[in-house]
Structure 1
Amino acid sequence: MEMVDDDGLTRTGTVWTATTHAITAVIGSGVLALPWSVAQMGWVFGPLALVACAYVTYYTAILLCDCYRTPDPVKGRRNHTYMDVVRSCLGPRDVFICAIAQYVMLWGTMIGYTIVASTSMMSVERSNCVHKHGHGADCRASGNLYMIIFGVAEIVLSQCPSLEKVTFISVVAAVMSVAYSLIGLGLCAGKFASHRAARGTVSGVKVGGVGGVSATTKTWHSFQALGNIAFAYTYSMLLVEIQDTLKSSPPENQTMKRASLYGIGVTAIFYISLGCVGYAAFGNDAPGNVLTGFYEPFWLVDIANVAVLVHLVGAYQVYGQPIYAKYEEWLAKKWPHAGFIHKLYTVPLPFSKSHSFKFTLCKLLLRTVFVALTTLIAMMLPFFNAIMGLLGSVAFWPLTVYFPVTIYISQANVKRGERRWLALQGLSAVALLVSLLAAVGSVADIAQRLKHVALFKSEL
């Protein structure tokens, strides 16, 4: 018999379902840019950034786990979303700022995932072409059709009622993320072993000379690399929504802390390994998407890219469902009697007498329009690394550090001026600096690319 929680809802989530949601949310397209990111900063600052961002993400996640219920972390009132936590602990001004940062980040990630999904499909087409016709053949591929196909698939999946109802998709996505990370790591390890020496330098991509870049480009790319790494670990803006799927026994904060440890721990192992081994394999010539640097064995490269695609299909919904839930909740409160929003339609599913598809016209139409708009923007701006860096800069300080730290200070009554308060504020200041540098580097790179790339033209 299913237990009903104190708010009248039935929750079935466990540490393992939460871990799969966490891994699906954290291990995403950002992992593919890590060798390139390490290459921009070199053997000292690259690995250091990977370790530091992992620790900061885990530490602030632990702080946030205790704020799901307020004022008491075990018996207090539930906060169903990240913004609910901010509202309970801070106030309306912070809620507004949080809303902008969180939903821009979630939507931006969906745009980024559409770009990466098309890149993976283009990579499969190109690797098969090279294998069949040789490296001298013209094997360029266009991504617009693939973005449209991916968008249509997400329109269908967007009709799932809630995040809890996409657990199976999330489990499959988590498995796929581990699969392509392992394949990418294996391919990089094989390439590294083939030349029997670690490539790369202490300072990364060199300035000037043959094969070098200008000092300005080096600076922008280094800042952008920081954003890529920060984006790769971004997790806090979905933590509360994931925690809201958990059963209340044992206490949700205990379960979520374990899930965060497992999810971020697995992620950090993959990220540090792939970032460093990928840099050792390619050196300063590491590609922006590491899988595009391989053509053989073509079948294994294809499997990795298909795994990326399957993962992104599920991860897209993990990021999209909170957006759908928020604007549909607002519309329902704004027009409580509108049939367009509230009237439920039921369509029996073929080959199943016990299941049916239930929807409202609002849900069917608005989710479709939202995914279509997301796909259109991705087709306009297909800049993988620059988009990843910009997303990282948008999310890292406010969502991953500032709000969790500030909420925890309020929840735990940390006094201004005491040692713990100073340490937390120092962490927030450093994270702000990282976010600003990453934003500057990414915007500069996007501006530079727009001078040489036509809109709606994605090629590999």
Structure 2
Amino acid sequence: MFIPITHFTYKEAIGKANCFHDKGHGAKCSVSSYPFMAAFGIVQTMLSQIPSFHKLSFLSIIATVMSFSYASIGIGLAMAVVASGNGKVGKTGVTGTVVGVDVTASDKIWKSFQATGDIAFSYAYSSILVEIQDTLRSSPPENRVMKKASLAGVSTTTFIYMLCGCIGYAAFGNKAPGDFLTDFFYEPYWLIDFANACIVLHLIAAYQVFAQPIFQFVENECKKAWPENNFITKEHSMNIPFLGKWRINFFRLVWRTAYVILTTVVAMIFPFFNSILGLIGAAAFWPLTVYFPVEMHISQRKIKKYSMRWIGLKLLVLVCLIVTLLAAIGSIVGLMKSVMAYKHFHS
């Protein structure tokens, strides 16, 4: 949950884009991200009181529209740079950055591992699949609907990722930044502002989509452990202006607020997006996206031990485990370097 908060620097990017537009691209434009992170935490504190995942459909729609919007803008701007023929600021090559010129050999290895973790995080969505499936109607069968939805979602996501990666690299070469919209594009500033605003809205929705399963898991376990505790189980009805009647549970209010505050503070202390992204991606990818689904598939289909299919699936699990460990190592190294070089609570 630190990821959407650390990535909330896109709100900071809006201020920078406006500053560069007003004062010129060579101006020193420094905008602190901490007020924006704090504001993000306040918004999430309010949204976290949404009782369940079933009430998040409007946020999911917003996130989808926003993601398509800013991705399209980023791809379009990168294509414009490629078409102009004079925007490239780094060499291109099959192997990427050049050892001894752009990076050292060790840096390239660690960054490659970290990038693997970033990619893994992009596909670590399995934790919310069950929650999504639980919102579907029984007819047609949920598993068939989810298979089609997963195929469409993964295919679309991969296509957009490939476009962003390939066209972005063609535009900027080995100097390609981690975030095009914050590091290289400043004009037209109004379009950059709009794209960054789309990302902000996407992150607001994304936080809730990933946090709600955690909220509900903890609350359900607490209700099972202390079913007689009114603080945990009792719902109170309150009239809230413009929202009408709203169910308030004091445990939900305290626990979710504390969770948001904790994640916000940690994100403000360690605002290292790429390193944390890779680390969390590595930690979540193998067990949730590979190991458990494969083991459940083997058990459900009763695949014979040591059959070709069984061996193939086990090899897949092993390869993904190795990739996950390498990604975790690279992300930890990157995080350590960032921590040593970073001055906390300085703009």
Q: Same fold (TM over 0.5)?
A: yes
Summarize the alignment of residues 60-459 of structure 1 with structure 2, pairs less than 5 Å apart. 110-117=1-8, 119-195=9-85, 200-209=92-101, 212-292=102-182, 293-351=184-242, 355-457=244-346, 459=347
Offset from partner CA, 1:130-166 (integer Å, 9 cap, x none): 1011123221111111000000000110011111101
CA RMSD of aligned residues (A): 1.4
Structure 1 residues 310 and 351: alpha-carbon distance in aligned structure 2, compared to 1, 3 A threshold: closer
Offset from partner CA, 1:239-291 (integer Å, 9 cap, x none): 11111111111111001111111211211111111111011111000112121
The residue matched to 1:400 in structure 2 has which SS?
helix
- 1:383, 1:193 → 2: CA distance? 33
| Preserved CA contact (<8 Å) 1:381 1:456 | no
Quote the offset at 1:391 in angstroms: 1.5
- 1:387, 1:296 → 2: CA distance? 29
What one-letter code is carried by the residue in structure 2 that aligns with 1:283?
G
What one-letter code is carried by the residue in structure 1 that aligns with 2:235?
L
- 1:231, 1:169 → 2: CA distance? 21
- 1:386, 1:171 → 2: CA distance? 28
- 2:36, 2:242 → 1: CA distance? 30
- 2:242, 2:335 → 1: CA distance? 49
The residue matched to 2:247 in structure 1 has which SS?
strand
Quote the offset at 1:128 in angstroms: 0.3
Task: Count the aligned residue pairs.
Answer: 344
- 2:98, 2:284 → 1: CA distance? 29
Q: Which runs of 4+ in 1 moved over 4 A?
A: 196-199
TM-score scaled to structure 1, two decimals?
Answer: 0.73
Quote the offset at 1:455 in angstroms: 2.7
- 1:251, 1:351 → 2: CA distance? 37
The residue matched to 2:341 in structure 1 has which SS?
coil
What one-letter code is carried by the residue in structure 1 that aligns with 2:336?
A
1:37 maps to which residue?
Answer: none
1:57 maps to which residue?
Answer: none
Query: Could you list the runs of 5+ residues in structure 2 that have no partner in the other structure?
Result: none
| Preserved CA contact (<8 Å) 2:81 2:87 | no
| Preserved CA contact (<8 Å) 1:173 1:314 | yes
The residue matched to 1:414 in structure 2 has which SS?
coil
What one-letter code is carried by the residue in structure 1 that aligns with 2:240?
L
Quote the offset at 1:350 in angstroms: 2.2
Quote the offset at 1:397 in angstroms: 1.5
The residue matched to 1:451 in structure 2 has which SS?
helix
Structure 1 residues 216 and 340: alpha-carbon distance in aligned structure 2, compared to 1, 3 A threshold: same
Quote the offset at 1:321 in angstroms: 0.4
Quote the offset at 1:351 in angstroms: 4.3
| Preserved CA contact (<8 Å) 2:275 2:331 | yes
Query: Could you list the runs of 5+ residues in structure 1 that have no partner in the other structure?
Result: 1-109
- 2:62, 2:297 → 1: CA distance? 33
Quote the offset at 1:349 in angstroms: 2.8
Percentage of pairs with the same residue: 47
Quote the offset at 1:191 in angstroms: 1.2
What one-letter code is carried by the residue in structure 2 that aligns with 1:112?
I
- 1:192, 1:342 → 2: CA distance? 58
| Preserved CA contact (<8 Å) 1:346 1:356 | yes
Quote the offset at 1:196 in angstroms: 6.7
The residue matched to 1:356 in structure 2 has which SS?
strand
